[in-house]
Amino acid sequence: QSVLTQPPSVSAAPGQKVTISCSGSSSDIGDNYVSWYQQLPGTAPKLLIYDTTQRPSGIPDRFSGSKSGTSATLGIAGLQTGDEADYYCGTWDGRVSAWVFGEGTRLTVL
């Protein structure tokens, strides 16, 4: 089963923009929508982006998603200290018919 590759950590100053990458393969990201989750310390993951670019109700437009080929990117603009969390990408792997998650990226707002 594939595991999506993310950088272990990223950091930026308040107010700045950061991007988090998620690399996969043709059977997962390359052929399916991508989702992104935010996990604050000690809490369950929260859906931030679905269908690669869509935001659920209540998610601010500071969060954005995109995809190119077998890689996807989460963008977070206007960083706030409350954005410090772990971020996970996820998608369907059609080769094994299973949902797969990325390794997770810890965001630090300096």
Partner 1 sequence: QVQLQESGPGLVRPSETLSLTCTVSGGSIPYYYWSWIRQPPGKRLEWIGYIYYSGTISFSGTTNYNPSLKSRVTISLDRSNNQFSLNLHSLTAADTAIYYCARGQYYNGPPDYWGQGTLVTVSS
Is 57 one of the binding residues for partner 1 (CB under 8 A)? no
Residue 91 to residue 43: CA distance in whole angstroms: 21
Residue 16 to residue 95: CA distance in whole angstroms: 38
Is 101 one of the binding residues for partner 1 (CB under 8 A)? yes
Among 56, 60, 69, 78, binds partner 1 (CB under 8 A): 56
Contact 50, 56 (CB under 8 A): yes
Site residues, partner 1 (CB under 8 A) = 1, 3, 32-33, 35, 37, 43-47, 50, 56, 88, 90, 92, 94, 96-104
